[in-house]
Amino acid sequence: MGQFALASVLMCGYETLSCGMPTRPRKTPADVNANAVRVARIAIGEVETPRPKNPAAVALGKLGASKGGKARAAALSAKERSEIARKAAEKRWGDK
């Protein structure tokens, strides 16, 4: 990739190289030149670095996540769990 790719990155933004809608969000560009532009923008203060996550909030989220599935399974009857599993399998394997 040469100067043309770098120019298109500068014109379109560093998230996408094609100026189209991205198929999924990216945290860092896949292209080496685009990543260099991103690093330079962060260095000069043009783009802010992402804020660090609050460790207490992360721990609280993990605590709730570890309880969630078990609590839901305990609240459901065997028939309800079986029905949910049947629907999931049908959705996953139905078209194949």
Structure-derived torsion over alpha carbons of residues 84, 87, 92, 96, reported in degrees to the nearest 10: 150
The model carries a pTM of 0.34
Domain that holds residue 67: 56-93
- On whether residue 89 sits in a domain, the answer given is yes
Asked whether residue 36 carries a pLDDT value surpassing 70, the answer given is yes
Task: Please indicate, yes or no, whether residues 12 and 35 belong to a single structural domain of this protein.
Answer: yes
Portion of the chain with pLDDT greater than 70, in percent: 68
Residue 18 to residues 2, 81, 91, Cα–Cα distance (Å) = 15, 46, 34
| pLDDT band per the 50, 70, 90 thresholds, residue 91 | very high
Task: Please indicate, yes or no, whether residues 69 and 37 belong to a single structural domain of this protein.
Answer: no
